[in-house]
Amino acid sequence: MTQADVKELYERIPKHIGVADFIIFTDEGVKIESSFQDEETFKYRKEILQFALTSRAAIQDIDPNNELHYLRVRSDRREYICIPRDKYFIIVITLPDKIQELKKMGVDKKDK
């Protein structure tokens, strides 16, 4: 992924309905972009990036020919989607209930 790819991603992600926040890290935990303040970003690095890296390693241990495509963690109000891309990890936090509501109203893109 080039710098331009990261920039394009940074502009495209928020246009999807129901996206509350997102972070782009290198897989060494360096923050590239984040919609959060630093304190929250570093909490996500400690929690979500950590187990995203663990899950990537677990997949490789179970089947070395298998690669992690993505990881989705659904909780009551949010869904955390972690997508590895080259040496980056993209973490997107969505609001599933809001997405459903908007889809019922026939809305599929944020108008911005």
Residues lying near a copy of itself in the complex (CB under 8 A):
43-44, 47-48, 50-51, 54-55, 58-59, 61-63, 65-78, 80
Least distance in angstroms from the C-beta of 20 to a copy of itself:
12
**Torsion angles phi and psi, residue 74, rounded to 5:** -105, 125
Query: Between 25 and 44, whose beta carbon lies closer to a copy of itself?
Result: 44
Nearer CB in complex with a copy of itself: 77/87: 77
Location of structure tokens 């290198």: 26
Find the shortest distance in angstroms from Cβ 61 to a copy of itself. Answer: 5
4 three-state secondary structure? helix
At closest approach, how far in Å is the CB of 63 from a copy of itself? Answer: 7
Contact 93, 79 (CB under 8 A): yes
SS3 2: coil
User: What one-character DSSP code corresponds to residue 35?
Assistant: S
